[in-house]
Structure formats: structure tokens, C-alpha cells
Structure 1
Amino acid sequence: MSLTTLPIQTFDEYDPAVPVVLPHEKVYSIQVGYKLFRLSGLSLSSDSPSYFTKFFSHPENKEKVLFFDRSPQVFEKIYNHLQGYSINITNDYEFMHLWSDAFYFGLSGLRKVLTEQDYFASIGSESFKIPRALLQSKGNSPNYFTINAERLLSDNLQVIERKNMMRPPPQRPAVVTGRSSDLFRDLLEVLKGNPSVIKSEEHRLLLMKEARYYRFLELEQRMVSHKVCKGCIVLNLNHLARRGLSNPSPSDKSIERPMQYSRPYIEEPVRDLIFQVDSEEDPGTAVLFLNKRTSLATVVFRDKVFAKLVQVFKGLISGTIVDETSMTFFAGFGRSHTLINGREMKSSWVTDLIGENPAFPSEEERDEKRASKKRKMSDKVEGDVIEIFLKRSMWKLLMRGNLGRLEAVSIDGLTGLGQERIDFL
């Protein structure tokens, strides 16, 4: 029975037919470095045309020993490939050496196999084999490794062809310096669906930072700390992405509805958004002003909080006051849970202090607010404005068309920065 008629069950996409470029039964000799390899014409024809088939196709060469001053260890993999075996590559240097020699020998079939292999990279001091299947989902590709692999291989080809080199130059695989191999190992585990490797909130933030660096955008969103309750999704302001926002309120401003959110690249329903602002470490970045004279409550965000709000919301909403350093929202407190100086307040505490708070101030009131904002609070009549520094707060963004205001869900504040700080339980 000939080699080409063996009754072997194969995958549908695999074509066992091999063209007769060289006589299939004839054996040819190839010396690579210190080792002699003997291959049949069938094996050499299986990935053709190549340097081998072109050399042995000349009648005067068919009995010669073809010599290459290359690595026999690398050629072992090529030998297995030509014999029809799948090859296993274990590290980044082995991949680069094999790819270089596949180009050197003109083995287009092997080069195609290699471009479909897993990705390899050295991160920190450790070599990683990154399963290609893990990086195919929307949001995780293109990424650092897919872009780098395409650029590295194409650039090397261009150099070799442009300089007409006798053999490929020494090539190094992708090396990522200054990043943690331990964190990357944990990232791969989360990619595989094992979030139990996340040890703490600090560890989660580090992993999210690494995911952004490598452009694993879907993975980053998968790791975002969030809660889902009563049709709402609760996230920290720092984790909001602009592309996740949607405004269900009609443009004619006839109905007020909460801004909605769905984490980008994650298959989940759109829910009403509640975002949390943590400002305890930066006093003064989130301040609530209760104006007794106008019966208006406003929240002013500054510095890092302001910068993030601008990044996420600017251009999507009006009805806010924005200058170079701050953003001011009108705010409501109908059903909020409130702690002031560690004491729980009743639900009507804002109304009790300043009177009824209109949901949307008139244009005159907005103009007055803009003018009064330019004056220092210390210039106001004592007791006219109550200033509360927010340590931590949760808000809904209510939209009426493109007009936006905040509705408090939960706040923890101090009436003075000298007050003792109280942590959440």
C-alpha cells in the first residue's frame, strides 16, 4: 500500500493530497549543521515550492547532499512539519528562530502555520505563550501582541528582501520591559474565566491598569467593580467609559429619565446609571452648596473629579456650569441616604434647611447662579449658603432631553474639613 492511500481519518479541512513536485518515493539528503536529515520527495513536496524542491528538481542535484549552516535543533521542527506532523512551539525564541528559517527555506506553508500559532512574548523576566483563542473577542483585539506580531514579522521580511541578505539576521522576539510578569500571569487567568485570582480591590485596579496597557479592553471592563440592583448599575466614576452611556430621554425635554449605561464590549442589558464619587482623599474636590435664599442645591466638582466628568460627560449634557477648573450641577435629594458629620439625616433634611428645591431652575436662576459662583463664598452673608464637603457620594444623572441634573442616592459629608473623618462600614 502506498503512503498516499493509507486509510487514515482526517479533518474535513485537511487536504492529504500532495503534488508530485519531486518523486514521492525518492529519498533526499539534507545536512543541517552537524546533523544529516533524510526526507522523501513526498515530504519535500508537501510544502512547495521551496529552496529544497528547486534544488533537487535539477537533475544534476538529485543525488547531492544539500548543506545548510543552520541550527539542526530548529530544523527538527521543520522536519516534523514536512512529515505532516503538527508542531508544538514552547517559547518566544523558538518561534522566532523557526519563523526565520521558514522564510529562509521558502516554506510558505510553514509560515502560514506559524502566523496561526499562539502569540509569544517575554514580559519581565518570563516567557509567555499566549493562546490566540483568548484574544479573539471584540475589545481584546487588536491588542499589543497582535499589532506587535504583525509589525515585527513584516518589518523583518522587508529588511531581508531590501538588503538581499544571504540569511536572516539575528531576530529577537517581543520583549515587554518594565511590566510585571506576575500581573500578566493573573491577566491570562482572568482571560481564561478564572476571576478568583483577583485578591483585593488594589490588585483589581493593578490588573485593570495592565489590561489597558496591553489593550485588553473587554477584559478591563469585565474586571470593573460594579453592582446591579433594582434595574440600576453602580460604578465608580473613574471606571465610566463615554461609549457606555445612552440617554433615553426624548429630545423635546418632555420626560425626565436617568442616564443609562452598559459596560462597553460586555453583553449585558442597558441599565439606569448610578455613579460613585470618592473624594475623601482630596478634600474640596466634591462640595455641596445649599443656598437658603434661592432654595437651590448645587454640587461643585473640582480637580481630578472635574477632569473625569469632563472626559465622560462634556458635550452630552447642558444645564451645568463649567469653567476651567470646575463643573457645577443642580442637585436633588428626594430619597437619598445621607450622613453629615457621621449623623444620619432624615429624607427631608435639604427641604427643611433651604425650602423646596425646584427640579430645574429657571433661566433667571441659572444666570443668578453663574453670577454668584464668581463671588467667593466667604463674601456671602453668614448662614445664607451651607457648604458641605463630600467624602463619598452616589448620584443618578437625570436627563430631560440634553438638560442634566443630579439626584443624590447616598452621600457622606462634613460641614467643615476639620471634622473627624468617618469611614464607610
Structure 2
Amino acid sequence: MSNVLLEIEQLATSGASISSDAPSYFSAYFGKQLQEGRGQSEPIRALHIDRDPEIFRDIVRHLQGYYVPIRSPEHFAYLFADAQLFQLPKLISRLFESEIFMAIGSRSFQIPRDLFSAPGDSPNYFTIGFAVFFSSPDEVFPGLKREGLLRPPSITPPEVTNRSGDIFSELLHLLRGYPVEIRNETHRAALLRDCRYYHLRGLEQKLICHKISYNSSREREEIMLRIEDIKPSGLNFALDSSDKMLGFVTYARPFNDDTGRELILEISNEHVIVSSVTLTATFKEDTKKRVAAIAKLIFGKLSSANGTTPRKLTPSLVGQLYNPTLEPTLRVIVDDDTDVVLDGRTWGAPPSEHMHLEFENPMQGPRPLKRRRTSLDGPGTADTWTIKKGLWKLQILEFPDNKVELMMKAIKLDALSGENGRNQARTFLP
């Protein structure tokens, strides 16, 4: 193919360059003229193009074999639109497989696709959203025929206006494997909120507030999480022994942990109400639904495990048959290992004939717990405790009639015994 003229500020290129990315609009235009005998008796007509000169210079450079770097999300969108208009398959394929270009807030980002290779981080807002913006190499202008198309429709550069570019920059830093200092819980909440917005599920699980530690006395690892951060897929149970059902609930963070650790739940906002007489707990607000969901899931797993045991185990709560439609009430275990602050003071309530605090051995029945004695008129004698904040382990115990029960073992409690205790905790306005 002889030299041809692409007239857009008088840019000229060779037939070899035109052929470097063909078939295309250019090869079809000039190839038709050559088939008609032009170039011998008549000169080949120049192609007049009404497009942006700067973008077209990049297209000519691509045809000449140069690598064209992308300068911004706008540059990517305009170059992609013209690559589609001129039907350049190699340029389209290269752009489609290139980095993701996105403006977030007031900042522009160039995001490598392999940055989302960690489990749970793909597909996400960018891999799906970018594909929606630019579809595929075969169809970018759905419903439009590219043949005879005078100009492509306007493509808005990908942009997320309602998110912070600074927060996303920190998320990219984390995705690259670098640590980011969590300054406070407000900062963590902002990172988590945008993780969920962008659907970065694996990164979200790394960022949730948690603590992993090794309990040397129990010889197992523990993980502490807030109940609102629990995902059902991470819950399971483990048995302490094989001859009877006596175990505990475990948790493995989805996409991050290969094995489960003994779960310690943190429940706050006064969502747990404990009867200090019957030692049972009821729940308020969203915690009620979350506890019910945990009980349902654990009992479902226990029922599935029944097939490997010679006896039939019956799920129950506080001795009664488990009914998933009723609000959950769980038995509470408080023992000498529990750290209790009641009404701002360390608790040491005396045992009473009405207060059976722990089933130390479910086969032998209840036994009152010995605690440090205080005056009967002192704190610790109220019938109901409101738990401002508590740490709990979920234990699984089997009773002699094959009933298996889910219980809450108190680890650390900050509780109020009534209005007097609440008023003691109040402070004056500054």
C-alpha cells in the first residue's frame, strides 16, 4: 500500500503503518481505492477526519509502532472511543486489557488489574464497573453499527464523585501489601465503608477491628471480634472431647484465615440483659437477630454432625427445645475467671440459694459459684444487669437427656444493676 494522507492538521503515514493494525477503518478506506485502480492513473484521496488532533496523533504513533502511555482517565476514554470508531483491533485489545483508569473524588488513579488478585477482592466495583463502561473488544457501543458511524457517542470518563480519593489511596496502599496506620475508629469506619462500596471483601476482613492471641492455659488461639462484624461463613464449632458433646464456637475470617480460632464476641451498646437470679441472657435491637442467626447456624452444623455419632442430639436453649422462630434466650456462665465491673466497682456478690451461677459439670447439675463476699446492701444484689459492654465465649454443652445447649460464658463484663448504677456512671456536662 502506497503512502496515504490522513488529513487532520496534515498528518501523513505509510501503508505499512496502516497495515500494522488491520483490518480497520483506514485499511478499508484506502484498500477500496486501490482495488478501484487509484494510485496508478489517479492519486489516492486523502482522508479528512473531524476528531481531536491530540488524540489522533496518539493513534498515528500507535500505527507507527510506538507505545502510547495513558495520561488520565479522560485520555483513556477519548482514545478508546476513537479506537472503536476507527476499528483498530490491536489498540482496542491493548486498552481493554490495560490498567483500570478511574477518577475518584478529585484524584485520578491508574489501577493495575493484578492488584485485585487476593481472595475476595475480585470481582469488584472496578473490574465490573470498568467492563460496563468499556464492555468488550467486540461490543463497546451496544446497539450501534460501527460501519458508517460518523462519530461515536460521547463516553464519560469513569469517575466516582461521592467517594474520597484520599481514602482510596490508602486502600490501594493496603492492596499493594503496605501497612496503613489506623488512626482511630472513625478512620477505620471510613476505610471499611469504602471497602464495602468497592466490594473489596478480602481487604474488608483484614481491616475489621479484631485481635488474635494465644491462650497458653487452654493451648489454643483465640480471635476477638465485635458481633456486628461476624460473617456466617466464618462460624463453626470444635469439640473438646469425642466421648461427649462439650465444645466451643470457632471463627475464621472469610478469605483470610485457613483454620478457625476460638471465638470471643464483643457485644456493647447495652444490648445484653442478664438475669442475675436465673443467669440467662436476653438481647435487644440488632443483637437479637445476630444471636438468633448464630444459634441457628451452629445448631444446623451440630445436626449435620449427628450423622457421625451413635446418638441423636437435640438442640435446646435453656433446657427447652430449640425453636428458630422464637427470640433467643441463652444461659450465661459466670465463674471465678470472669472479670466483672458492676456499677463502676469490681463485683464480688455472695452466693445465695437463688443464684446458681454455673453448670460446672452438666452431668451433675447446677452448683452455686463461690465469689468474693461483699455486704448484701452493696452492689451486685440487683436481679437484672444491663451489660454496657461484654466479652463472651460461646460454649456447647450436652445434658444427660441428649439435649445440647448453646451457652454464653462471660469473660469480661461492664454492667449496670439499675437506675442507681446508671446514675453513678453519669457525668456532668463540661
Q: Normalised by the shorter chain, which TM-score bucket?
A: 0.7 to 0.9
User: Which AA in structure 1 matches 2:263?
Assistant: L
- 1:186-265 to 2 correspondences below 5 Å: 186-230=170-214, 231-249=221-239, 254-265=244-255
Q: CA deviation at 1:315?
A: 3.7
2:161 to 137, 160, 177: 177
1:98/1:418 Cα in 2 relative to 1: closer, same or farther (>3 Å)?
farther
Q: Percent identity?
A: 29
Alignment of 1:71-90 (within 5 A): 71-90=52-71
**Aligned pairs (5 A) from 1:81-100:** 81-100=62-81
**Kindly tell me: are residues 253 and 42 of structure 1, through their superposed partners in 2, closer, same or farther at Cα, counting changes over 3 Å?**
farther
Equivalent of residue 399 in structure 1, options 387, 396, 399? 396
Are residue 31 (structure 1) and residue 7 (structure 2) matched?
A: yes
Partner of 2:386: helix, strand, or coil? strand
Q: Distance in 2 between matches of 1:361 and 1:93?
A: 69
Q: Distance in 1 between matches of 2:361 and 2:199?
A: 41
Aligned 1:297-308 pairs, distance under 5 A: 297-308=279-290
Q: Return the match for 2:26 from 41, 48, 52.
A: 52
Of the candidates 412, 421, 425, which is equivalent to residue 425 of structure 2?
Answer: 421
**Matched residues in 2 for 1:133 and 1:329: separation?**
46
- Residue 290 of structure 1: aligned partner: 276
Compared CA separation, residues 314 and 66, structure 1 to 2 (3 A): same
Partner Cα distance (2:110, 2:353) in 1: 64
The 2-side partners of 1:83 and 1:147 are apart by 32
Aligned-partner Cα distance in 2 for 1:120–1:80: 21
Q: 1:108 aligns with which of 89, 94, 107?
A: 89
Match of 1:309 in 2: 291
Give 3-state SS (helix, strand or coil) of 2:79's partner: helix
Structure 2 portions without partners, runs of 5+ = 215-220, 300-314, 367-379, 399-403
Which consecutive unaligned segments of at least 5 residues does structure 1 have? 1-21, 366-382
> Residues 159-209 of structure 1, C-alpha deviation per residue, up to 9 Å, x if partnerless?
323997432111112332332233222222222233324321211011101
Kindly indicate whether the alpha-carbon contact (under 8 Å) linking 2:96 and 2:134 is maintained by their aligned counterparts in 1: no
Summarize deviations over 1:123-169 as a string: whole Å, max 9, x none. Answer: 33333322322223221111112111222223852132399743211
Cα distance, 1:53 vs structure 2: 1.6
Q: CA shift at 1:76, angstroms?
A: 2.4
Length-normalised TM-score, structure 1:
0.77
**Change in CA separation of 1:322 and 1:119 when aligned onto 2, cut-off 3 Å:** farther
Matched to 1:421, the amino acid is: A
Match of 2:377 in 1: none
Q: CA deviation at 1:358?
A: 2.6
- Counterparts of 1:376-387 in structure 2, within 5 Å, are 386-387=383-384
When structure 1 is superposed on structure 2, of 95-104 and 401-410 the one drifting more is: 401-410
Q: 2:347 aligns with which of 331, 338, 345?
A: 345
Q: Equivalents in 1 of 2:53, 2:361: separation in Å?
A: 79
Q: 1:249, 1:400 within 8 Å by CA — same for their partners in 2?
A: no
**Kept after mapping to 2: 8 A contact 1:322/1:328:** no
Q: Cα distance, 1:257 vs. partner?
A: 1.6
Q: Which amino acid aligns with 2:108?
A: S
Q: 1:392 to 1:48 in 2, by over 3 A?
A: same
Q: Distance in 2 between matches of 1:66 and 1:313?
A: 73
- Please give the TM-score of this superposition, normalised by the length of structure 2: 0.76
RMSD, matched Cα: 3.3
Q: In structure 2, how many angstroms separate the alpha carbons of the residues matched to 1:407 and 1:105?
A: 69
Alignment-mate amino acid for residue 171 of structure 2: L
Deviation of the 1:289 alpha carbon:
0.9
Equivalent position SS for 1:327:
coil
SS at match of 1:194: coil
Alignment partners' CA distance in 1, 2:45 and 2:29: 10
State whether residues 250 and 400 of structure 1, in contact with CA within 8 Å, keep that contact through their aligned partners in structure 2. Answer: no
Deviation per CA, 1:59-81: give whole Å up to 9, x if none.
14664322211112112222232
- Cα distance between partner residues in 2 of 1:80 and 1:162: 23
